[in-house]
Structure 1
Amino acid sequence: MNTVHRHEGDVRCATSTWFSPLSEPSGHGPSTSVPSRASDDYLAGWFATAASSSAAVDVIVVAIVACLFMVVEGKSLGMSRAVWLLVPLSFVIAVAATFPLFLAWREHHLERTAHRAGPVRAEAVAS
């Protein structure tokens, strides 16, 4: 066997273990270790790279602002204190589910309070 073919095999082996998602960082084959806590690996994955860190911070900021909006808006409209239940649900389920739920609940509350108040007189609106 000549030298070129031998080195070509070494390069192929090195690149396949380096880029394989199943290989350990040391490059000694597939990883068979089980993580001690899956949540540690999940949260570490959020901040593993610059791109994932940026996306994670965006999601966290949006979640905090949405929760603050739900609580403040719910309180200002006189909605039930059950709005506070949406805050932990935002982190357990997803803000993408709880925020539209809050908006629908808010719309229902506004319609209900407008219906109770009755028709608005024109002179009250003009002043």
Structure 2
Amino acid sequence: MTRHLTPLAIAYLVIAVVGLVGTWWFNALAIVQMNDFVTDLVTSGPAVSSITVDLLVVAVAGSVFILMEARRLRMRFGWLYVVGSALTAFAFTFPLFLAMRQRRITELARAQS
């Protein structure tokens, strides 16, 4: 199995492990402290930390994907989506990138026809 793992695949696996350990650490902390997960979301606590780690890890993995995919498809200014996510939100820039990616894929397909 390992002979088929590229450095990018290994990077994604490492990010996945960080996401698993980071989120479950705070979930376990909430359980040990006998906190109500939903109340913690409103009043702060381990649940908020768990969701923060969750979203941060997704943003890191998504940013790696954006950079690699933009390079593969020869999309100009792919890095701008990553920078833009720090200024706006990853929830905005990632779908925006996916839309522009689809546009580029369609453009390339039409050029080959």
What is the deviation of 1:66? 0.8
Q: Which runs of 5+ in 2 are unaligned?
A: 1-43
What is the alpha-carbon distance in structure 2 between the residues aligned to residue 85 and residue 79 of structure 1?
11
Provide structure 1 residue ranges, at least 5 long, that are not aligned to the other structure.
Answer: 1-47, 119-127
Picking from 51, 62, 76, the partner of 2:72 is 76
Aligned pairs, number? 70
TM-score (norm. length: structure 2)? 0.59
Of residues 100, 103, 111 in structure 2, which corresponds to 1:108?
Answer: 103
- RMSD of aligned C-alpha atoms? 1.0
Any residues of structure 2 matched to 1:20-99 within 5 Å, and which? 49-80=45-76, 82-99=77-94
Q: Larger RCO: Structure 1 or Structure 2 (Cα < 8 Å, ≥ 6 residues apart)?
A: 2
Q: Give the percent of matched residue pairs that are identical in Structure 1 and Structure 2.
A: 39
C-alpha deviation, 1:78, in angstroms: 1.6
Please identify which structure carries the higher helix content.
2
**Partner residue of 1:12?**
none
Which secondary structure does the structure 2 equivalent of 1:79 belong to?
coil
TM-score norm. by structure 1 comes to 0.53
